[in-house]
Chain A
Amino acid sequence: EVQLVESGGGLVQPGRSLRLSCVASGFTFDDYAMHWVRQAPGKGLEWVSGISWNSGDIAYADSVKGRFTISRDSAKSSLYLQINTLRTEDTAFYYCAKGSGRYYLDWFAPWGQGTLVTVSS
């Protein structure tokens, strides 16, 4: 069974940085693209970033380009999201999701349970 467990969220002041993690199990991590998707409280889903199986292709939503960095570590079966210069509008649940194939342009599922990032002074 595929399991995705996110961590690293919490209450952070504006301007600070944070690194989110997602530990994957139940599948061969190296064979699949991975994604981050966020959801502000009470709002809809927003795709944030995707990374191909070998990190050769990476993409970001325009809203986060330049501040967010996605990465993966095959030895740890882990996906990461580095968030710099946090803004109040970054407050959201952050979900990781497994790609259906090697490239981030393939559809994605399932999703983890998410980790909440709250940006506030």
Chain B
Amino acid sequence: SSELTQDPAVSVALGQTVRITCQGDSLRSYYVSWHQQKPGQAPVLVMYGKNNRPSGIPDRFSGSRSGNTVSLTITGAQAEDEADYYCNSRDSSGFSWVFGGGTKLTVL
């Protein structure tokens, strides 16, 4: 089982706001990165560090943290945001990496 816990599936109406969460004890100590994966494609980084978006990622994506839970928020979800989202951080030892189980986002 993963040290990072994500909800398996989340849905959002087109244009509405959705929050995807990632929970784990190691998140109190280490930053998370978020990776978006569409069917048949390689993952793409959408958020990293405290609240940083790579070049080309829309500003409707944002990140936040509260205790051992980190969130990826999409404000005004678009059809093209429908994908699997994976959080990624160091594990509890600090010397290895771990992914959350992934959240399938459906845009209705």
Per the bound structure, the CA–CA distance linking A54 and B58 in Å amounts to: 34
Once the chains bind, are A59 and B96 in contact (CB under 8 Å)?
yes
| Least Cβ–Cβ distance between B2 and chain A, in angstroms | 8
The contact size tier of chain A is 20 to 34
Over the window 90-121 of chain A, the binary record of Cβ atoms lying under 8 Å from chain B Cβ atoms (1 yes, 0 no) is: 00000100001000010111111110000000
| Least Cβ–Cβ distance between A121 and chain B, in angstroms | 27
Once the chains bind, are A109 and B97 in contact (CB under 8 Å)?
no
Interface secondary structure of A, over-half rule: strand
B residues lining the A interface (CB < 8 Å)? 2, 31, 33, 35, 37, 42-45, 48-49, 54, 86, 88, 90, 94-102
Q: Could you say which of A45, A61, A112, A114 contacts B102, with CB atoms under 8 Å apart? A: A45
Q: How many A-B residue pairs have CB under 8 A?
A: 56
| Least Cβ–Cβ distance between B70 and chain A, in angstroms | 13
Once the chains bind, are B54 and A114 in contact (CB under 8 Å)?
no
Given A105-B90, A109-B54, do A45 and B43 touch, yes or no (CB 8 Å)?
yes
Q: In this assembly, does A44 line the interface, its C-beta being within 8 Å of a C-beta of chain B?
A: yes
Given A37-B99, A47-B99, A109-B54; 11 other pairs, CB 8 A cutoff: A35-B97, A45-B102, A47-B96, A61-B96, A95-B43, A105-B90, A105-B95, A108-B33, A109-B48, A110-B44, A111-B44
